[in-house]
Amino acid sequence: MEGKNNIMYEQYWGLKEKPFENTPDPRFLYRSPQHEEALMRLLYAIEEKKGAAILSGEYGSGKTVLSRVLLDSIDPNKFQVAILTNSKLPSLEFLREIARQLGDTTLPEKKVDLLNNLNDILSRNASINRHTVVVIDEAQLIEEREVFEELRLLLNFQFNNQFLLTLLLLGQPELREKVNRIPQLRQRIGIRHHLVFLNEVETGNYINHRLKTAGKKEEVFTKDALKVIYDYSKGCPRMINNICDLSLLAGFGRKIVKIEEDIIQEVAKDLKEW
């Protein structure tokens, strides 16, 4: 029954798919000026083989989906990428997971052997003009200072004129605080960008962009409804998605043509109570 309702939901609004899923689908990235700036900086860090870069931002501000867009835009023949999403691993397991994703099938127990293997992989990639990129998502959740120390030491893998890998750290604002407490690591990070929530105009553009991407050409939300969405969400994309998704469901249930502010008020109130 639930699957049938989902299909009817999409058909009712003339959508090919759900437009407000909280998943990192690159197709749905709304390229606000600050997101474009972040993409430019991170792409520069990768293509120019910089040592490390940080992308920070409030929860739900679009860091993960932006990183997926970034990685989709680089040539896999020129770059090998490891993406770590479990940032709570102990330091040795952290290194083992990086090595595993980069193709190490032996994964030795001793750290010195593991680091030697990583050095071999990075050097081999560099010898065929293939750069290595390591992405750490939700890096603010790293609990052990030793993990940050290991990441800093990875930046010692370099030739005289270039780093052998680029480290991208993605996380919430407290990530910056953790990195700043380690001067040796902070000094290695030459590129930084911080995402803030969308403003009111961007919120409306974000909503209409996602609807259009999902196949809806006409506007669904009235201007007053968009304003209320912004008032409740404060421009947080994840919260915008939640409000809009439930509003489309409510609108479908009532068989209305456009989403007015009264529905947004009801949905937002329900979400707030939870």
pLDDT in tens, 121-146: 999 999 999 999 999 999 999 988 99
Q: Tell me phi and psi for residue 185, to 5 degrees.
A: -80, -45
- Report CA 201 to chain centroid distance, whole Å: 22
Architecture of the domain spanning 2-22+198-273 = Orthogonal Bundle (1.10)
Kindly give the confidence (pLDDT) of every residue in the chain, 274 residues in length, as a single tens digit, with 9 standing for 90 and above: 344 445 578 999 999 999 999 999 999 999 999 999 999 999 999 999 999 999 999 988 999 999 999 999 999 999 999 999 998 999 999 999 999 999 999 999 899 999 999 999 999 999 999 999 999 999 999 988 999 999 988 999 988 778 999 999 999 999 999 999 999 899 989 899 999 999 999 999 999 999 999 999 899 999 999 999 999 999 999 999 999 999 999 999 999 999 999 999 999 988 876 6
Q: Is the dihedral of CA 75, 142, 103, 167 positive or negative?
A: positive
- Angstrom distance (rounded) from CA 263 to CA 225: 8
- Give the angle subtended at the CA of 121 by the CAs of 118 and 124, to the nearest 5°: 145
Would you mind telling me the total number of residues written for the chain in this entry?
274
Beta bridge partners of 134: 82, 167
Per DSSP, 165 falls in state: E
- Give the angle subtended at the CA of 168 by the CAs of 186 and 182, to the nearest 5°: 20
Strands 79-84, 131-136: pairing kind: parallel
Helix (H, G, I), strand (E, B) or coil at 82: strand
pTM above 0.85, yes or no: yes
Domain ranges of the chain: 2-22+198-273, 33-195
Q: Tell me phi and psi for residue 225, to 5 degrees.
A: -65, -40
Helix (H, G, I), strand (E, B) or coil at 175: helix
- Residue of 160, 151, 158 whose CA lies nearest to 184: 151
CATH class of residue range 33-195: alpha beta
- Give the angle subtended at the CA of 11 by the CAs of 9 and 12, to the nearest 5°: 65
Per DSSP, 166 falls in state: E
Q: Tell me phi and psi for residue 181, to 5 degrees.
A: -80, -5
